[in-house]
Structure 1
Amino acid sequence: MSNPLSHHFFTMACNNAWANHRLLKACAALSQDEFVATRTSFFPTIRATLSHTLTVDWFYVDALEREARGEPPHPDCYCFFAQDEPFAICADLQREQAAVDRRLIDYCKVLQDATLDRVVTIARPGTPQHDTRTRLLAHLFQHQIHHRGQVHAMLAGTSVKPPQLDEFFCAGEAALRAADFAELGWRESEIWP
């Protein structure tokens, strides 16, 4: 592989989308009452946690895309947080998360190692935030993993069994993810040529 680190970010974006697909598919099987029930976690409900993940993804993916296009930072980047919970039902969250996951995959698919140190600027109030693509992507993936774990734990207290999220991306486990990949419209060879 000629660009191993940039390819790693692409595979992480795919893994991220796949894990979100599995988790949100499980959450979509919840009743609305279970979806919004108060639970023990950083955010008080499954809906609130998934909503936070989505709005943060909107925030950072927008910044990454703007930098890639040579555009200035979003003049009002906090617009992505205008509503703490922009969607009432899981199906809407599921659709929007899949859309931003696709944007992140598309962004990572064209990365090159030589451009990973390019600086992305986010126009925060007061002092703008400046981070390299590498740091922002690492942060974004860690943020997703952190909050998926919280939702996974909250699901354990519902009528829906939490899905397996911490395995199945290794080469020898392709059969275990085949159904999910088919639902996503993916082929193994697209991720690992």
Structure 2
Amino acid sequence: MDTSFRTLSRWTVWANERLYDACGALTNDEYFLPRVCAFGSIHRTLNHLLATDRIWLGRLTGEGHSIPSLDTELCADFVSLRAARSAEDRRIVSLVDEIVANGDLEGDLHYTSMDGKPQILPRRLVLSHLFLHHAHHRGQVHALLSQTKVPPPALDLTYFPRAAE
């Protein structure tokens, strides 16, 4: 049984908790401060990750989603965003466990893209994208935190096994 995606799902929970702990130590002004980055602030970058997770998990489950764009702000404040992130992380772990247990890693995912076009991608590729996308944007938030007084936490996958001990 391939357990790499199960490990990545749990690493995602761990890394997100650490990142949100650091962001929670910021003042509201620093957290919402407009910054030179793809989504304009720490808050909007974290919202982007939540929105894209809801999009991809909606596709993977067949439930669909109602996210109109990749920069949709789903939560206007840190507390509600953190709660939504935590719930989405539990959903990721559960879905990945189900996909692995059912042997569905090798299948294809049929879905409709944001521009309304039908798409087909290998489920394994979609899951890889999900976790790489997280690492990419967590890295952006990590860099943005380095511009504040709050030290950015170590988030590397190699630290995760030690944290689980």
With normalisation by structure 1, the TM-score equals 0.77
Q: 1:64·1:120 contact (CA, 8 Å) conserved in 2?
A: yes
Superposed CA RMSD: 1.9
Q: 2:31·2:41 contact (CA, 8 Å) conserved in 1?
A: yes
- More divergent stretch after superposition (47-56 vs 105-114): 105-114
CA distance in 2, matches of 1:25, 1:80: 26
Aligned to 2:51: 55
Q: Deviations over 1:28-56 (max 9, x none)?
A: 11111111112222221001100101100
What letter is aligned with 1:87? C
Residue number among 67, 77, 86 corresponding to 1:80 in the alignment: 67
Q: 1:55·1:81 contact (CA, 8 Å) conserved in 2?
A: no
Q: CA deviation at 1:104?
A: 0.8
Q: 2:32·2:43 contact (CA, 8 Å) conserved in 1?
A: yes
Q: CA deviation at 1:81?
A: 3.6
Aligned to 2:4: 8
What letter is aligned with 2:141? V
Structure 2: tracts of 5 or more residues without a match: none
What letter is aligned with 1:45? S
Aligned to 1:132: 122
Q: Deviations over 1:83-113 (max 9, x none)?
A: 7222122121111111111111001113148
Aligned to 1:23: 19
What letter is aligned with 2:79? A
What letter is aligned with 2:146? A
Q: CA deviation at 1:126?
A: 4.3
Q: Quick check: 1:94 aligned with 2:94? A: no
What letter is aligned with 2:109? V
- Judged with a 3 Å threshold, the aligned counterparts in structure 2 of structure 1 residues 126 and 165 are, in CA distance, closer, same or farther, namely closer
CA distance in 2, matches of 1:126, 1:60: 14
3-state SS, counterpart of residue 51 of structure 2: helix
With normalisation by structure 2, the TM-score equals 0.89
- More divergent stretch after superposition (24-33 vs 141-150): 24-33
CA distance in 2, matches of 1:81, 1:105: 25
What letter is aligned with 1:16? T
% identical aligned pairs: 35
3-state SS, counterpart of residue 115 of structure 1: coil
Q: Quick check: 1:117 aligned with 2:106? A: yes
Q: How many residues align?
A: 161
Q: Quick check: 1:44 aligned with 2:40? A: yes
Q: CA deviation at 1:144?
A: 0.4
Q: Quick check: 1:160 aligned with 2:150? A: yes
- Judged with a 3 Å threshold, the aligned counterparts in structure 2 of structure 1 residues 59 and 126 are, in CA distance, closer, same or farther, namely closer
Larger radius of gyration: 1
